[in-house]
Amino acid sequence: MKSGLKNKLMKFLESSLRNQWLRGSHVSVYVRKGWHQGLDGKIHTYLDLANIEVDQAFHHKGIFTDVLSLCQELTPYDGVLVESVLNEGLRTHLQRKVAQDKNWHEKGFNFIWEKDGATGQI
């Protein structure tokens, strides 16, 4: 799953596309290059993780965590925004990240991971 999705994510990030569905083994991810107001009030560019669909048989196997780690590793932007988290289990998982890591923040139904030294420049 990881290497195929990694290559697709790298190609997306290098392209002029603003959004794209990326399909990997047992997972589909909708990503976007987004501009959002950060916690500092400035506009930041983030890699938005807008939707993730995991095959039912592969739920609770760490696929979301792997995808999120990949996004954090590869983003050339100020961070990663996980958009509109409505799934309670996923929300709890991300709230634990907020409690354990100063770079994670909860903003409404969104969760933001900002790199150290994020500048807020587009």
Q: What pLDDT digit, counting tens, does each position of 60-71 carry?
A: 888 889 999 999
Which tokens in the block code for residue 4? 């195929």
* Position 40 confidence tier, pLDDT thresholds 50, 70, 90: confident
pLDDT digits 0-9 by tens, 87-109: 888 889 999 999 999 999 999 98
> 15 CB contacts (<8 Å, ≥6 apart)?
none
Distance CA 71, CA 66 (A): 9
What per-residue confidence (pLDDT) applies to 88? 86
Best CATH choice for the domain 2-114 from the list 3.40.630, 4.10.240, 3.40.50, 2.60.40: 3.40.630
Question: Residues 38-59: what's their mean pLDDT?
Answer: 90
Distance CA 74, CA 16 (A): 16
CA-derived radius of gyration, the chain? 14
What per-residue confidence (pLDDT) applies to 62? 86
Distance CA 5, CA 12 (A): 10
What per-residue confidence (pLDDT) applies to 117? 75
Handedness of CA 55, 60, 61, 64 (dihedral sign): positive
Read off the DSSP letter of residue 82: E
Question: Residues 58-81: what's their mean pLDDT?
Answer: 92
Pair 46, 32: CB distance under 8 Å: no
